Amino acid sequence: MHTTRRLLLVLGDQLSFNLASLHGLDTKSDTVLLAEVMEEARHVPHHPQKIALIFSAMRHFAEALQQRGIRVQYVALDDPENTGSVPSELRRWQALMQPDEVHITECGDWRLEQSLKDCGLAIQWHLDSRFLCTRTEFSNWAKGKKQLRLEFFYREMRRKSGLLLNGDGTPVGGAWNFDADNRKALPKGIRPPSPARFSPDAITQDVLALVAKHFSSHYGALDTFSYPVTHAEAQALWVYFLDWGLAAFGDYQDAMASDEPFLFHARISAALNIGLLDLRQLCSDVESAYLAGSIALNAAEGFIRQLIGWREYVRGVYWLKMPDYAEGNAFGNTRSLPEFYWTGETRMNCMRQAIDQSLEHAYAHHIQRLMVTGNFALLAGIVPSQICAWYLAIYMDAFDWVELPNTLGMVMHADGGYLGSKPYCASGQYIKRMSDYCHGCTYKVSESITDDACPFNSLYWHFLMRHGDRLRGNNRMGMTYKNLDRMDESKQQALWRRGEWLLAKLDEGGAF
C-alpha cells in the first residue's frame, strides 16, 4: 500500500471536482476514499433508483478521479470487508493507511456529521463551498429574528451573487420577485418536451443488479432508471432544459397534469444535490439566457430564486436549528402515515397520480409535493417525522438538509411557523385550478359533505376548525377564518362530521 499523507473522504452527495476538501490535492501522497455503505442506504428505505443513482455516480466519479491521476480507495457495497457505515469505514482505512491527516467537507446530514465527529478521529473539516451562503453567514443573518422570511434572505443572496441586478444594485425589472406571474395552469394543447433519458452503461448496469439484489424490499421501480450519473450527462440534461424547458418553466412551474410527471421542470435537483452540477454555473446560464432575450424575466427570476433563495434558505434553517428541528410537531399530530403513500392505492386521483409517479420515477415536482401529498398529510394530521421519512425515502433529490425543512417546516408547519408564515393548506379547489386531476377522479371536487365529495374539502375545513386556537391569530389566515365564520352552523357541523369520518377511516388503516 502507498504511503498516504492525507486521506480525503468524499461522501455520495459530494461528487464535485471542486469540493473544498479536494483543493490542493497532491496526487503523489493523497488518497480519496469513497465507500458505499448499507447504513446510509437503509437508514430510511430509500427508493431503489436513488440508491442506484448515488452508487453509480460514485463509481463514475471514482473512475474520473483516477483518470486524472488521483489515487482512489473505493469500497463497494458487497466488498466482504465493508463494515457498513461511513464512520467505521473511515476508521478502518485510517488504521490501514495511517495518514497524517483526515479531511472531510461538511455533511448534508446532521446525523452523519455527528457520527463522524464522534468517531474518535481528528478530522479537518472544510466548508461546503458549493453553496452560496455558509452556515455561519446564515446564522448571523438569522440572529435576533423571531421568524425568518425568505424574501429578505433572497434579496441578500441576489446582492451577494450580483445576479439579475442593475449597475446601481437595484433588481432588474424593478422588482425582486415575479412569483405572481408563475402560477398558470397548463392550457390545453401545450405539450411539454419529452424527458431526456440516459441509457445505463456497464457501470450503471452493475449497480442496478446490485440494488435489485439488496434492496428489493424498498418501494419504487428500478427498471425505469434513466438519470444522468456523470458530470457530462448532468450537463447534457441541463442544456436540454435550457433549450426546451426553461422558456415555459416560469409560467407553468406550479401546473400539474395527468400522466405528465415532468412538464417543463429541469429535473436537475438530484444531480445538483450530489455535486454533478454547479450552482453558480446554473444561475449564470439562466441569467445569460435572459440577457440574450431567449427567456422572460419571470422564468429567469423564478429559477434563480429557487436556487439561491429557497435552496440556500432551507439549508441555513436546517443547520441553525438541528437537531431539535426534527422533533417539531406544532399541531400535536398523532395519526400514522397511510399505507397508500407507499402503494398509490387510493381513489383520490390527484394523490394516485402524484404517488404513482413518485414510485415510478422517484420524482414529483414541488407543487405535487407541497399541495397534493403534503397538503393531504397536513390536513389529515400525520405525524411529521413519518411524512418526513417518506419524502426522504421516496425522492431522488431528497437529502436531510433539504428534505427536512421543506417537509417539516413548509409542508407540515410543524416548526410553528419559523420557516413559513402560514400553513399551505388548501381545499380541492386549488388542485382543480392547477391541474386536470379532478376530471378523472371518483370524487366530486364541487362537493364537500356528500359521500362522493372530494376528501380535501371537508378535511380542509376540519383542519381549520380543529386548529382555530393556534391559527385564528395569524394575519395571513384572517380571510380564511372569515369564510368559515360566514358558514351557517349546520354546514360547519356537516363538514366536521365528514372530516371525522374520513380521519376515522385512516385510523382504521383504510383508504378512500
Residues that bind ligand SF4 (CB under 6 A): 348-350, 428, 431-432, 437-438, 441, 443, 445, 454-456
| Of 295 and 426, CB closest to ligand SF4 | 426
Q: Indicate the residue among 314 and 503 with the shorter CB distance to ligand SF4.
A: 503
C-beta of 168 vs 451, nearer to ligand SF4: 451
Q: Between residues 135 and 183, which has the closer beta carbon with respect to ligand SF4?
A: 183
Query: 471 by DSSP, 3-state: which?
Result: helix
Q: Which three cell numbers stand for residue 113?
A: 456529521
Dihedral angle of Cα 312, 313, 318, 321, to the nearest 10 degrees: 140
Which residue's CB is nearer to ligand SF4, number 243 or number 452? 452
> DSSP of 255-321, one letter per residue?
---TT-SSTT----HHHHHTTSS-HHHHHHHHHHHHHTTSS-HHHHHHHHIIIIIIIHHHHHHHHHH
Shortest Å distance, C-beta 167 to ligand SF4:
47
Min separation Cβ 376 and ligand SF4, Å? 9
Q: Where are the beta strands (DSSP E) in 316-440?
A: none
| Long-range contact pairs involving 385-393 (C-beta distance under 8 Å, separation at least 24) | 385/326, 385/327, 385/329, 386/336, 386/337, 387/337, 387/341, 387/411, 387/412, 388/326, 388/412, 389/44, 390/337, 390/341, 390/342, 392/44, 392/46, 393/44, 393/45, 393/46, 393/47, 393/218, 393/219
Decide whether 321 or 365 has the Cβ nearer to ligand SF4: 365
> All 3 cell numbers of residue 208?
442496478
**Minimum CB separation from ligand SF4 for residue 435, in Å?**
8
> Measured from the CB atom, is 93 or 430 closer to ligand SF4?
430
Nearest approach in angstroms of CB 480 to ligand SF4 is 18
Which one-letter DSSP state was computed for residue 196?
P
* Residue partners of 504: CB distance under 8 A and separation at least 6: none
* Under 8 Å between Cβ of 454 and 499: no
> Closest separation between CB of residue 207 and ligand SF4, Å?
36
> Which C-beta is closer to ligand SF4: that of 315 or that of 369?
369
CA angle 186, 240, 155 (to 5 degrees): 70
Helices 312-321 and 135-142 pack at an angle, to 10 degrees, of 80
Nearer to ligand SF4, 455 or 499 (CB): 455
Are the C-beta atoms of 395 and 50 separated by less than 8 Å? yes
At its nearest, how many Å lie between ligand SF4 and the CB of residue 382? 17
- At its nearest, how many Å lie between ligand SF4 and the CB of residue 353? 8
Q: Which cell numbers hold the place of 491? A: 354546514
Supply the minimum distance, in Å, between the C-beta of residue 350 and ligand SF4: 3
Q: Residue 481 carries which side chain, given as an amino acid letter?
A: Y
